[in-house]
Amino acid sequence: MEAIIILFSTGIVSLFIAMTRKPILVLLTALIGVTVTAIVMSINWYTPMQWVKYDGIETDYFTIIYGATATLFSFLFILIGYSKFSKEVYHTGDYIAILIFSLCGALCLFSFTDLFMFFIGLEILSIPMYVMAGSNKKNLLSSEAAMKYFFTGSFATGVLLFGIACVYGALGTFQLKEMSEAIAAMKNSSALLQVGMILILAGFLFKVGAVPFHFWGPDVYSGSPNVVTGFMATVVKLAAFCGFLRLFQLGFNGLDGFFVEILIAVSVLTMFVGNLSALRQTKLKRLIAYSSITHVGYALICLLVKNEHTPAYLWTYFFAYGFSIVALITVSMIVNDENDDIDRYKAFARTNPFAGFVMILALLSLAGVPPLVGFFGKYLVFSSAIEQYPVLIIIALINSGIAIYYYLKVILTAISKDDNAEKSTVSPLHAIVLSISMFGLILGGFVTFWVN
Amino acid sequence: MELLVIPLVLAIISGFATKQLLKYLALFGTLLTFLLIAYRSWEYFGSSELVTLYSLNASSAFKCSFHLAYDGITLLMLLLNGIIFPLLVLAYYHTKWINNNRFVSMMFLMQFALIGVFLSMDVLLFYVFWEITLIPIFLIAYWFGSGERKKALIKFFIFTFVGSLAMLFSIIYLGSFTNSFNYSDVVSLGLTKEVAVWVMFGFLIAFAVKAPIFPLHSWQPDTYVSSPSPGTILLSALMLKMALYGMVRWMIPLAPEAIEVFRYPVIILSIIGIIYAAIIAIRLDDIKRVFAYASISHVGLIAGGIMIFTKDSLYASFLQMLNHGLIALALFMSAGILEERLQTRSLAQMGGVAKLAPRFAMFFAIIAFASVSVPFSMGFVGEFLLLKEIYSFSWISGLLAGTTLILGAIYTLRAYQLSMFSAPKISEFKDLHFNEWLVYIKISILLVVLGLFPHFIFDLVGPSIDKLLDSVFTINLLK
């Protein structure tokens, strides 16, 4: 709770600091605030702080790990986006504050104990994203992305809310603990509960962009400003996955029977649709969007397995995935191309050796090539489900095989020769972010060893 | 441990080193690794114990540990690795490749990963190193290769990566039966036959792609041709040995219960590969492609020998691996010399080189004869033993595999005759320079000496192979 309050105050303060019209001050405030939040969270690891008490929120180890990860990625995205934000002096504060508010929502989702807090967290997470998707006001695609995301998103929210209402009708409580007790005490499964759970599941699948609720994904990803795309792919997905994992595991005692079949079907479809659509993409951000759909398919495997280690596996997966996205988004900011064509990255690794190197690492990590961190995430997720669903794992591995083709195409474009290629300038902030993500990609495997 | 650290550190340093320093780094770095390996082999000689270099329990969730150890089999592969790299650097000492930071850096990274593959005593660690080898060789082939190589290399990467995914499936599947991927733990598992079949199948796909064994070989000739000649040497002399080593070290000991199921299919496929590749090699015009198919043919024989899995066949397989590594280095180096000085790989446009470059012709002849396994060369001992084992396994397959001697002689000597002796079509050919001469001399001496005294190798790998066979068969008998 302390972390959320500090973070929220940081957002407000940076809004006021923005009145000085000095972007660097806003950046510093935001970074200090985010760092303090991270420190407060890590103190919680050793001695739980109880300054502010609220029943809707409960901090455990996974809350802290997930929270620290989301904070780290937000920190990196604020750094990446600063070069863009600072150009619009009047709005620098708005952008940074909105990202921080969204992070507040993510923190709520990592620690809620009742459906009320869950819904609030999800909305605080989403609404800033609707705004940020359209923040590139002069670009038609950006406005389109914002409209699309907002309309479909609010529809999904409605479905989710209806689901919550049904579940409340069946169980008569909002508390996760009481819900699971009520379900355990029930002799026959109630239809109202089933309907509610399906509607909640649909809302969830929409939020993470799984097939068949994925249509908003590519358009929103490619239309939004780069930083927002990255933020949506990492922090928002991490938070949504964690929130629903909490809900299903703590509230509904894990999914079984009918829901498992639904999830398996969705997972398989998501992998194939994402992969096969990505094969022929010519724009980097659309490629990232489709590949992130595929990655959602892999991560859904986590939800199928009832196991006390599942949150750790899911965390590993998104931790690994996040660094790749951070690196790729930074690279796309460096190249800074309106059209975002993959051809524009021709000879990028030759003109900018360091950035190109990190970009190649990021793509290989997404493909799951060891010893990069992406491999360890994939390995854990797959090995957790091998006993129950071996065929699903074979399908997932086949999909990893398909995916290597489009990652390889981008890599080959980046390392190819082109005498006319001009050198892009790498600002110091971007260089810092690139080196952080390089260390994350290479050494992240050891971090995941330690956490697991 | 230092065996792994030195190449890795050198890989990083040579990425930034100046041109003059770079050459010395490449030469003395590879020599240093060779000396370290040679010293360890000397110390080890005659023993059969598993010597642990480094061991660290990494994580229980991953079931993996950082366990590096070696025995005789490993040392033989390390020796091959240690011999090939300095010779490679020496042979290409004055060329643009050794003067290029990226090339030398990738070469050291390759050495690091290969040493890791041979030393790792943990399935997951083995997989990690196995995959790392792919990156440097891919980049070497892409940066320095010739011609329209993009398609060939995408094919290469996808083939090997998908093969490795099959291995990953086996590893994950194996993980659901064990709490530790350590070598000693996984070989004593005692799987049921059904499980063992699946486990072995995944490994077999990965190794069959990399070796390559007949139906999965189609990436290999294209990749060999489009790589620069040092890249081809790395691929053929070292990377392919990883697969053969993996078959002996991991595939069969992990799931010995399944060997009966796969023995016949793999031996049949190897024999098809031997004959098929040899016949194609006879018809080809591109000298590098001829040697690429020759490599498929030779490897087929070794793979068949490994699947028979008796004492003699394993002894011979390891001797053949060493032999094939050295010959691949020399053959592809010769092809590289011809290509570089004549600007063509087509046999039809060569001819009469022997008159202009007698020294080169002589050494090329020695290597060609060693490649067709004439007596007194190392190939003779290995191939003879392998054919004997295949013959006693089943006479018909022995007979068919035996054609490799005749067909091998045809395609090798045809390539030799067309390039060296036929009507002169060129007027100028620079003979070997000192470094190349030195490399040829060393390889020729090694091939002949080890052909006359193969027991040096048998003494090194023998005890370890006996121990491996013992452990595999006692597990089988216990059930």
Res B95 pLDDT > 90: no
Nearest chain A residue (CA) to B164: A401
Nearest chain B residue (CA) to A415: B143
Nearest chain A residue (CA) to B155: A405
The predicted model gives B282-297 an average pLDDT of 90
What does the alpha-carbon distance between residue B132 and residue B218 come to, in Å, rounded to a whole number?
Answer: 22
Distance, in angstroms, between B203 CA and closest chain A CA?
Answer: 14
The predicted model gives A287-300 an average pLDDT of 92
pLDDT digits (tens, 9 = 90+) for A12-55: 999 888 888 888 888 888 899 999 988 888 887 777 777 777 77
Q: Do the beta carbons of residue A139 and residue A190 sit within 8 Å?
A: no
Contact list, B132 vs chain A (CB under 8 Å)? 370-371
Nearest chain B residue (CA) to A452: B61
Distance, in angstroms, between A226 CA and closest chain B CA?
Answer: 29
Mean pLDDT (chain A) is: 87
pLDDT digits (tens, 9 = 90+) for A304-360: 887 778 888 899 899 999 999 999 999 988 887 777 788 888 888 888 888 889 999
**Would you state the structure tokens that stand for residue A136, as one six-digit string?**
């590139």
What does the alpha-carbon distance between residue A139 and residue A338 come to, in Å, rounded to a whole number?
Answer: 10
Distance, in angstroms, between B399 CA and closest chain A CA?
Answer: 39
Q: Which of A2-6, A80-84, A148-152, B62-66 has the highest mean pLDDT?
A: A148-152
Res B474 pLDDT > 80: no
Q: Do the beta carbons of residue A74 and residue A105 sit within 8 Å?
A: no
Long-range contacts from B168-171, C-beta under 8 angstroms, 24+ separation? B168/A379, B168/A382, B168/A397, B168/B127, B168/B202, B169/A393, B169/A394, B169/A397, B169/B202, B170/B198, B170/B199, B170/B200, B170/B201, B170/B202, B170/B203, B171/B123, B171/B124, B171/B127, B171/B202
Res B377 pLDDT > 80: yes
Residues paired with B17 in a beta bridge: none
What is the domain partition of chain B in residue ranges? Answer: 2-478
pLDDT, position B378: 87
pLDDT, position A444: 79
pLDDT digits (tens, 9 = 90+) for A266-290: 999 999 999 999 998 888 889 999 9
**Would you state the structure tokens that stand for residue A275, as one six-digit string?**
């992969």
Which one of A305, A380, A386 makes the best mutation probe of the B interface by having the most chain B beta carbons within 10 Å? Answer: A386
CB contact under 8 A, B61 and A312: yes
What does the alpha-carbon distance between residue B304 and residue B317 come to, in Å, rounded to a whole number?
Answer: 9
* A380 lies within 8 A of chain B by CB: yes
Residues paired with B55 in a beta bridge: B67
Res A196 pLDDT > 80: yes
Rg of chain A over Cα atoms, rounded to whole angstroms, equals 21
B411-442 as b/e: b if 16+ CB within 10 A: bbebbbebbbeeeeeeeebeebeebbeebbeb
Residues paired with B334 in a beta bridge: none
Distance, in angstroms, between B172 CA and closest chain A CA?
Answer: 5
ipTM field: 0.90
CB contact under 8 A, B142 and A383: no
pLDDT, position A452: 66
The predicted model gives B285-298 an average pLDDT of 90
pLDDT digits (tens, 9 = 90+) for B12-38: 998 888 888 888 888 899 999 999 999
CB contact under 8 A, B60 and A386: no
* C-alpha distances out from residue B125 to A445, B56, B108, B255, B387, Å: 13, 12, 19, 18, 34
How many other CB atoms are found less than 10 A from the CB of residue A450? 9
% of chain B surpassing 90 pLDDT: 34
Residues of chain B in Cβ contact (below 8 Å) with chain A: 58-62, 124, 127-128, 131-132, 134-135, 139, 142-143, 150, 153-154, 157-158, 161-162, 165-166, 168-169, 172-173, 175-176
With vertex at residue A217, the alpha carbon angle to CA A214 and CA A219, rounded to the nearest 5 degrees, is 130
Distance, in angstroms, between B313 CA and closest chain A CA?
Answer: 34
| CA-closest candidate to residue B313, choices B392, B397, B212 | B392
pLDDT, position A23: 86
Res B477 pLDDT > 70: no
* C-alpha distances out from residue B152 to B143, B164, B222, B282, Å: 13, 18, 6, 23
* A435 lies within 8 A of chain B by CB: no
Q: Do the beta carbons of residue B205 and residue B163 sit within 8 Å?
A: yes
Q: Which of A99-103, A183-187, A228-232, B292-296 has the lowest mean pLDDT?
A: A183-187
What does the alpha-carbon distance between residue A44 and residue B452 come to, in Å, rounded to a whole number?
Answer: 72
pLDDT digits (tens, 9 = 90+) for B395-414: 888 889 888 888 999 999 99
Q: How far is CA B311 from the centre of its chain?
A: 21
pLDDT digits (tens, 9 = 90+) for A244-257: 888 888 888 777 77
Contact list, B140 vs chain A (CB under 8 Å)? none
Query: Helix or strand or coil: residue A425?
Result: coil
Length of chain B: 479
State the pLDDT confidence band at B118, using cuts at 50, 70 and 90: very high
Nearest chain A residue (CA) to B134: A369
pLDDT, position B479: 46
| CA-closest candidate to residue B440, choices B366, B339, B375 | B366
Nearest chain A residue (CA) to B202: A394
Cβ-count burial of A197 within 10 angstroms (0-12 exposed, 13-18 middle, 19+ buried)? buried
% of chain B surpassing 70 pLDDT: 99
Q: Which of B111-115, B251-255, B395-399 has the highest mean pLDDT?
A: B111-115
How many CB contacts within 8 angstroms connect chain A with chain B?
74
CB contact under 8 A, A370 and B135: no
pLDDT digits (tens, 9 = 90+) for A434-448: 898 888 888 877 777
Distance, in angstroms, between A165 CA and closest chain B CA?
Answer: 39
The predicted model gives A407-430 an average pLDDT of 83
Instruction: Please count the CA atoms within 13 angstroms of the CA of A427 that sit on its side-chain side.
Output: 14
Q: Do the beta carbons of residue B112 and residue B7 sit within 8 Å?
A: yes
